Structure 1
Amino acid sequence: MMPPLWQDAAERARAKACQQNQDKHAAAQGFLLGEPKRSGRSASLVDWLDVTANDDEEKGRAQVRDGEDSLEVILVDVHREGCQREIRTLPTAPGAPGVIVPTDRVPGREVVRAMVMSMVRLSPKFTNPRRIDATIAELGKYVVLAWQDDPELRGQLFLPLEEGRAELIGITVEYDSSTGLKEVPSE
């Protein structure tokens, strides 16, 4: 039995949850497939998957996303030798491991593909509503203007790693090809 003082708050919470559930259900209706067309006693799968969906992939993901915001970043390696600084693909990047990435022009197709294949999703720690703006602002410092001319790199965020580590909004992260991008515990 619920205490009488809690009943109003519980009812409001129940109504809010019910409304959110109905909203999610309504949003999903546009993505459901209909029954295959019937022709006599049998159904035909011809044209069954022809749907009128928006071709804008990012908008489509946003329409069905129920969770928190997320960010994906392309990881690149930074090598320093004296005053020289080179950006490279990750040593484990498929097709072009450890290749120097030019910053004065668009990289070649093989290098771009290796870069895109080095994309990871940041943990919710970086994308929660209190931190996402700071995360995006800090990642914005690493945008290379020449790369914006490539359709696959345009608008992407990059996280440069030095010896497999980076600091992002005061949090140290480490990348390992087998475990992914993980937070390094404070000492």
Structure 2
Amino acid sequence: MSKRTHTRGGTARPIRLLGDPVLRTECDPVRTFDASLQRLVDDMFVTMYEEDGAGVAANQVGVGLRVFVYDCKDDDGRRHVGHVVNPRLVAADGELLVEPEGCLSVPGMHFETARHAHAVVEGVDVKGKPVRVEGTGYFARCLQHECGHLEGNVYIDVLSGDARRQAMRAIRSLSR
């Protein structure tokens, strides 16, 4: 597969790891739509591609604003690439699919995570124009995951039962 790139340029930023307080803080709405917001989005795309991720939320690069970028496929194999500013998860429905999920902020770990098969996110783009993004399967998983980050959550927060116990043990073993 060819390496994904962002045509507008940008600079990779360090990914914040589990334990960094910025990941556990609800992000603020974007109120200023200017060149610095465009630069943040460009940097987030470059960071996502360098880290080989499917999405990145602004707090994962240390910025407490409600923005995420994505590049992933849906159930039909269609590639979706974009960003959402001030996103709201307006629907997460359909069958609950339990599949391995990972996160750039929890590197090297993947746990069976339940997510809805369909998701809809509404928000605006970097110019303030309304956007509505709808996804199924892996893309729906990505939309739910990134919206969770902006609420101050990481994917391990939605785990339950054996998957949660396994995740907690693995995370504790890292901190020793």
Flag the structure with larger Rg: 1
- In terms of fraction of residues, the more strand-rich structure is 2
Q: What TM-score range do you get, normalising by the shorter chain?
A: under 0.3
Q: Which has the higher contact order (CA 8 A, sep 6+)?
A: 2
With the length of structure 2 as denominator, give the TM-score of the two structures.
Answer: 0.23
With the length of structure 1 as denominator, give the TM-score of the two structures.
Answer: 0.22
